[in-house]
Homo-oligomer: A and B are copies of this chain.
Amino acid sequence: MKKIILLFCFSPFINYAQNSDSLFIKKMSDDIMQNGKAYEWLHHLTKKIGNRLTGSDAYNKAVEWGKLIMQEAGAENVFLQECTAVNWKRGKNDIVAITSLNNKKQTTKLNAFALGNSMGGDVTAPIIAFNNYEEFENKKDEVKDKIVFFNYPFNQTNIETFLSYGENGKYRYNGASRVAKYGGLGCVIRSLSGSTDNFPHTGVMRYNDSFPKIPAAALGLKDADKLWELCKTNNVSLNINTHGSFNNETIVHNVVGEIIGKEFPNEFITIGGHLDSWDVGEGAHDDGAGCVQTMEILRIFRAMNYQPKHSIRFVLFANEENGTSGGKQYAQEAETKKENHVFALESDAGGFTPRGFGFKMSDEKIKKIQNWLPLLQPYGTTFLRKGGGGADINPLNEKFKTPLSGLSPDSQRYFDLHHTDNDIFENVNRRELLLGAINMAALIYLVDKYGL
């Protein structure tokens, strides 16, 4: 009995292991591990172009470069999609400093970044510190004319760090407006990270237009700890001096490479990452990695002379970090052109060793994909589970119910680097990066061949 059941459980493996799919995937894998270009491309993107905030010259350079690489990698068509996007600038260097109200020269500078989309200001005020919103709401009457410090800790007990990031997100996203609502003058938060270093982490925030747009910044973890300790026993004042502002909207572009489908040319499978980054570090893991993996899949499909049934789009999306107008534009044009989008996959969780994929689609479709697990396991995929997608491809799902997937790499190091000056090329490992591309290429190949 047991034997029969085991046979049943593992039968997909036996079916697939010896067939052409496993051979094809192995060939792709061998070629990518030996001849893959993603790592060299990432070197160029990070070291020759650098970080790529929406509206920066570097972003536009990256678009030109991406177009060129898509052509070199063998896209049948390469085109740009124009869209308008917000144009936030940090301005000068951010300053957050512990200060004496009596003697403004006595300051201790903290490692801090203004939050993305926050407005500049120069505020010096007594600080009031909270662990979380509950404590804050209980003492909301004490907030007026103060700078609020939210020191919500990254939950280290989650094995999957994205869960902790999710728990913390609200402090970064709307902390400033909650503070302003009660008359607070500024907001600093503990960076959304569980790292052991002191790099501050920027990231997107939004103001509630009903309240004053007060300055908002994130502290490195060591400095957050220091400030927290200090606030326990002392009356501490803080100076926040930031320079964020919005210029007129800017024009940015998605870069789209294409291989035309042989059977269903108007049915599209999309693979992508986002080409923009914050204006710190080099945007290596976030999301240079996803961009070069996307182009690696284009390269390998052409190198293998793979003739897809569906049209496959390789997309470097614009403006993910502070607006997602690239992803919205992509879905909008799909609607205008009456394209049929059957599947989309995004890599935007870092270039680390892949562990699996998450899916946003019906259980039935996920079940079909789960049958392919034995074909992906040799390359590191261990799960194919519900829950996934990506900020840039979500609009496809919203408009057309397109089934989505997101690559899930090992998440342990991601929030050490995410949105910091430390998200640099040197912290990306060649093999880990390429393994992500292999698993993505294999999944796309299977979706293209067998449909969903």
A394 CB to closest chain B CB (Å) equals 28
Contacts of A432 in B (CB 8 A): 412-413
Q: Which of A338-391 contact B (CB under 8 A)?
A: 353, 378-380, 382
B159 to A379, Cβ gap below 8 A? Answer: yes
A378 / chain B contacts, CB cutoff of 8 Å: 159
Determine if B380 and A34 form an interchain contact, defined as CB atoms under 8 angstroms apart.
no
Partner of A34, one of B9, B156, B161, B430: B156
When all copies of this chain in the complex are counted, the total is 2
In the bound complex, do residue B30 and residue A157 qualify as a contact, i.e. CB atoms below 8 Å apart?
Answer: yes
Q: Does A171 contact B (CB under 8 A)?
A: no
Interface size on A, residues (CB 8 A): 28
Which of B5, B412, B430 is A9 in contact with, Cβ under 8 Å?
B5
A413 to B, closest residue via Cβ: B429
Tell me whether B353 and A39 are in contact (CB under 8 A): no
- Tell me, rounded to whole Å, the shortest Cβ–Cβ distance linking A190 to chain B: 16
**Complex: A194 Cα to B431 Cα, angstroms:** 9
Determine the distance from Cα of A378 to Cα of B159 in the docked complex, in whole angstroms.
Answer: 7
Q: A39 → chain B, closest Cβ, in Å? A: 7
**Which B residues are CB-close (under 8 A) to A194?**
431
CB of A412 within 8 A of CB of B196, answer no
**Residues of chain A from 385 to 411 with CB closer than 8 A to chain B in the complex:** 410
A379 to B430, CA, bound (A): 25
Kindly report which residue of chain B lies nearest to residue A430, judged by CB atoms. Answer: B196
Tell me how far the C-beta of A332 lies from the nearest C-beta in chain B, rounded to whole angstroms.
39
Q: Quick check: B353 and A412 within 8 Å, CB to CB?
A: yes
- Check: A334 CB closer than 8 A to any chain B CB: no
Q: Which residues of B contact A382 (CB under 8 A)?
A: 382
CB atoms of A157 and B39 under 8 A apart: no
Residue of B nearest to A43 (CB): B196
Known: A9-B9, A194-B431, A196-B430. A156 touches B410 (CB 8 A): no
Asked if residues B5 and A410 are in contact (CB atoms below 8 Å), the reply is: no
Distance between Cα atoms of A89 and B88 in the complex (Å): 59
- Residue positions of A touching B, CB distance < 8 A: 5, 8-9, 29-30, 33-34, 39, 156-157, 159, 161, 194, 196, 353, 378-380, 382, 410, 412-413, 416, 429-432, 435
Name the 6 nearest CB pairs between A and B, nearest first.
A382-B382, A33-B156, A30-B157, A412-B431, A412-B432, A33-B157
29 contacts between A and B (CB under 8 A): A5-B5, A5-B8, A5-B9, A9-B9, A29-B157, A29-B159, A30-B157, A33-B156, A33-B157, A34-B156, A34-B157, A156-B431, A159-B378, A159-B379, A159-B435, A161-B431, A194-B431, A196-B430, A353-B353, A353-B410, A353-B412, A382-B382, A410-B410, A412-B429, A412-B432, A412-B435, A413-B429, A413-B431, A413-B432
